[in-house]
Amino acid sequence: MADNVQTTLSHYPLHLDKRPTPKRIGLILLATDHTTERDFARLLSPDEVGVYCTRIAFENPTSRENLKKTGPRLTEATAKILPGEELDAIVYSCTSASVVLGNDVVEGHIKAAKPGATCITPSSAAIKAFNALNAKRISIMTPYTAEVTDELVSYFIANGLDIISSTCLGMQDDRDMARLSHASIIETAIAAMDPTADALFISCTALRGAECVGRIEDKIGKPVITSNQAMIWSTLQHLRLKPKIEGAGSIFELLGS
């Protein structure tokens, strides 16, 4: 049949849109990440934001030494996201690595490949979220070891927050952190919240904490910020988008403020 069909070249004029989607971001993930892509897909509309992902090598355990190794890998990873194309932002999805490396270092690695893109990390996004909420006194819950958690505490204090309490779960493998049940996240988060704190931070992009925020806020009566939720909120703020997002935390009520 195909032998009898001759393909003809269309001569209709073709018009190209500037971009397939109005906004686009790059998302850099650890190779072991089970959670971040799902959260971005769940909370961002693909009609408004194109999310283009890549991954970098990561070796467990989640130690300071292994977290620091991720830094030099960021430039090559960034360069592989839509080469030669501009992005509105690059999101590096690792809270503890952004703290251990320092956000300035992370931004330097990323801008070496995409100098025009804004850099967003979970730790920088969390600070912006607490400032937007006017929350100064913070309780922290992490799945990490005490050593890595202490780095996060120091980071928050250096950025002007008062850390009222800090609780860690002592886990070292981010693949296990991703498997922590919703019930465990909710119960440990509620227990970690000091009643005198203004808000609770649940750290780690591996945790499925963004899926639990609404239920935790209902229990503690205070705002809850998680790593992935903060990144998504900060991304929407940067892109000046104001979608209606329900059940993912009171921070989304402040979009555009």
Does any domain span residue 254? no
The CATH number that applies at residue 244 is 3.40.50.12500
pTM above the 0.85 mark? yes
Number of domains making up the chain: 2
80-90: average pLDDT: 95
The string of DSSP letters for 195-253 reads TT-SEEEE--SSS-GGGTHHHHHHHHSS-EEEHHHHHHHHHHHHHT------SS-GGGG
Residue 1 has pLDDT above 80, yes or no: no
∠ CA 114-115-118 to the nearest 5 degrees?
A: 85
- Structure confidence at residue 256 (pLDDT): 58
CA distance 163 to 179: 27
Dihedral sign, Cα of residue 61, residue 107, residue 231, residue 102: positive
List pLDDT tens digits, range 170-223: 999 999 999 999 999 999 999 999 999 999 999 999 999 999 999 999 999 999
List pLDDT tens digits, range 156-179: 999 999 999 999 999 999 999 999
Poorest-confidence range of 18-22, 46-50, 235-239?
A: 18-22
Q: Please, which pLDDT band fits residue 2 given cuts at 50, 70 and 90? A: low
Q: Same domain for 174 and 153?
A: yes
* Residue 175 structural domain: 124-227
Does any domain span residue 257? no
Q: Same domain for 135 and 75?
A: no
Q: Same domain for 108 and 183?
A: no
CA distance 169 to 177: 10
- Structure confidence at residue 253 (pLDDT): 92
Q: Same domain for 175 and 218?
A: yes
